[in-house]
Every structure is written in C-alpha cells, then in structure tokens.
Amino acid sequence: MRRKEREIKDAVIIHQILSQSSICRLAIHDEPFPYIVPMNYGYVDGTIYFHCATEGRKLDLLKKNNKVGFEIEYDSEVLKGAVSCQWTTRYRSVIGTGEVDIIDDIETKTLGLDTIMKQHGKADNEYIPGAMAKALVLRLKIKSFTAKQAGDWA
C-alpha cells in the first residue's frame, strides 16, 4: 500500500467494514477485460456469501476460474472544497482476493442465506423448501486483503 498512513490494521474497524456494508464489487477473470459485478452479500468469519441467479455470465466465468478480486466500501462521502483541487473523499474500504465456490448442500446454503439476511437486518428466517432447492449461493473464501481509510473518522 503506497499511503501507509491510510492503512487500517485495527481488526474491529475491519470487521465493521465487512459486516456493516451492503455491496461487494466482485472482479471476475474474463478476456480481454475483467468482469465486475456489484452484489449484496453477507460476511462471517473470513467468508463472504452471495445469492444469485442460477445462470448467466458471472457463473459461466466463475466455473472457468474461481479466483476473484473484491472491493467493499463503507460510508463513503465526497467532500467538496472551495476549488477543484481541494475536493476529496472520506471512506473506509477493504480490497482483497479469494476463491469462490458454488454451494450445493442445503445446510451451507442456509448458513449463507442467513448470513446475507442478517447483514441486511433480518435475523430470524424461514425458507420455502422448493425455493431452497433452486437457490444458488456463492461462498467467497477470503485469501488476502488490505483495508484503507481517508478523511476524518474521529
């Protein structure tokens, strides 16, 4: 990281970013350019869960190469200055890499969906059995990450 003074090392703050944000941008390998898709998600214990459609470009690409990059930002805000050069952004973010698995078993699907729902404010969940059988859950196991912030967070 070039701006070491902006690096976040506090595990509590990093957990806050991961567990209280709502959108994760997933970068998937494609040719000739990467494919990036914003997704809602849930985070628990070094793992990010996503729910998605059962077919499409994202899945086709992940089946070819499950190694991804991701970015999550927390509470970002553009701060306007008197002149253009004085504008800046206040943010906290986590950027990392990992591997995505497509989840088939009902127990892990339920854990993934419960994690997503909890992240978005619902803790007690019921799922329709037929819908669960068709549900597709992706699990991103985080391999590495860095966390960064800018602006006043006092």
CATH of the domain at 130: 2.30.110.10
Q: What is the pTM of this model?
A: 0.91
pLDDT in tens, the chain (154 residues): 777 778 899 999 999 999 999 999 999 999 999 999 999 999 999 999 999 988 899 999 999 999 999 999 998 889 898 898 889 889 999 999 999 999 988 899 999 999 999 999 888 888 888 888 888 999 999 999 999 999 877 6
Q: Is residue 154 domain-resident?
A: no
What domain count does the chain have?
1
For residue 86, the enclosing domain spans 4-147
Give burial (CB, 10 Å; 0-12/13-18/19+) of 14: middle
In a domain, 152, yes or no: no
Alpha-carbon span 27 to 70, nearest angstrom: 6
Look at residue 64 and tell me if it is in a domain: yes
Nearest by Cα to 49 from 154, 130, 140, 146: 140
* 59 domain-assigned: yes
The one-character DSSP state at 153 is -
Q: Is residue 153 part of a domain?
A: no
